[in-house]
Amino acid sequence: MKTPLYKTSARNLAHAVKHGEITAEKIVSYFSKRIKAFDETVGALLLDLSDRALEKAKKVDQKRAAGKPLGRLAGVPIIIKDNIQIKGERTTCASKILKNYVAPFDSTVTRFIEEEDGIILGKSNLDEFAMGSSTEYSAFRATYNPWNLRCTAGGSSGGSAVAVAAGLSPIALGSDTGGSVRQPGSFCGIYGYKPTYGRVSRFGLVAFGSSLDQIGPFARTADDIALIMEVMGKPCNQDSTCYHELPEPYLDELDTSIQGKVIGVPYSLFEGKIDSDVRKVFDEAMAVYQSLGCKITPIELPMVKYSIPMYYIIATAEASTNLARYDGIRYTDRSKNARTLEQVYEMSRNEGFGAEVKQRILLGTYVLSAGYQDAYYRKAQKVRTLLIQDYNKAFKNCDLIAMPTSPTPAFELGAIHDPVTMYLQDIFTISANMAGIPGLNVPAGFDKDQKPIGFQIQGPQFADGRVMRFAHHFEKATSFANAFPPSFDKEVN
């Protein structure tokens, strides 16, 4: 293969394995070497599964040697966020309280991946329990942006984004509750996709906000997003919220023309909220779509401005309910200093949870408490309904909606101390989770310091294929998806 493996798409790697151009074992060994060479620098992984991956790769090669048909992900290395379960392996959620927890079952997405001969290479770092926008809240290690090692990779799926951006794997999985796949995608210069709520099974994903969470992929090409979505976006009887229809043939539809299509832009949301470089990149991206024959039209989404307070009521309420199970009794680490049952509960949680998780549990418990549930939680749900209505109205006048992914490029680690300022990083991403619609970060340029900037495409519910198609046409018309962080653009011995 002429292209270095670390720059080769997952689709092309699988094709090469199926046609005997390379073995799955050689691919896994290659990416394992890159992990050993670079991961100490970027801090992408919490668990290296290279030995397990090599055994899986040998089985894929044995299947091919025996003349058996190979799956769609044959030999493709994939890294998954460490809040997604793999049977027999640790799932820590980057929290001390789960540092010794071993998953007793497979998540649906890991099962679908391995059924198609994909190979899970490791588990990635995250903000503890996926609560954060910078991967600074991991209990175990920091994660660094490969474009600028002083900067955050974004969060909460920062480890997965870095794995793809630094060429440690062609695909990685994250979870997106309020922007946790799209924002790291923007900061790291790669695609980050949040599917329609219910398109991908959440079975085996450790719950944060159950009405908001979605597993989503990172990749360097829109083709690879479409490929992995066809594999993992299938019905699952173990998740009652999962959509029970097969996904569209996303790959087959990528080249369908977008000429004459209408892209809606909520310009009024941008005023005073975005960096000048972000606005410049966004406007240039819209000009590219105009050159492809699309019409750009202003739209209004008046309820989006309430998405941050709405989210931090609903998400924390759901988090406080979901995290109540971590009590030091069943499967979490128990405080060694506890002497009574009450101390087991109190001390195990106090010692096991980090400050950000405690803060969100307290807020969620408060908004659900007697006398406050109507004033906060139920009112937030009513505003959420109005937000969904805003989107439905907007989509009557446009095919897709475009907006920035993040108000700024990647910021330096430790630079944001105020929690509200950190929460505002998700001002453009949260609304897609609230409305249950698909959203995709598309690499689109760089700021004056050569840090990546992306923009976001949002579509109506279950218009996942349409979103990928628009990204694919932008990718063909530009070269941003081919950019690679200079310090990692090299082979290793």
Residue that has been written with the tokens 């941050």 in this structure: 308
CB contact at 8 A, 96 and 129: no
- CA dihedral of 267, 277, 436, 173, whole degrees rounded to 10: 170
* pLDDT on residue 52: 98
Contacts (Cβ under 8 Å, ≥6 apart) of 192: 157, 161, 174, 176, 181, 182, 183, 184, 185, 186, 216, 217, 218, 440, 441, 454
φ/ψ of 297, rounded to 5, equals: -130, 140
The string of pLDDT tens digits covering residues 423-435 is 999 999 999 999 9
Tell me the domains of the chain and their CATH numbers.
Answer: 12-301+389-488 (3.90.1300.10)
Low-confidence ranges of the chain (pLDDT < 50): none
Query: Cα 425 vs. chain centroid, distance in angstroms?
Result: 15
DSSP letter string, 440-462: EEEEEEE-TTS-EEEEEEE-STT
Q: Quick check: bond before 156 cis, omega within 30?
A: yes
φ/ψ of 194, rounded to 5, equals: -105, 110
The string of pLDDT tens digits covering residues 105-114 is 999 999 999 9
* pLDDT on residue 330: 85
CB contact at 8 A, 81 and 135: no
Which residues are identified as catalytic?
81, 156, 180
CA atoms of 207 and 214, how far apart (whole Å): 10
Residue positions counted in the chain? 493
Alpha-carbon Rg of the chain, whole angstroms?
Answer: 21
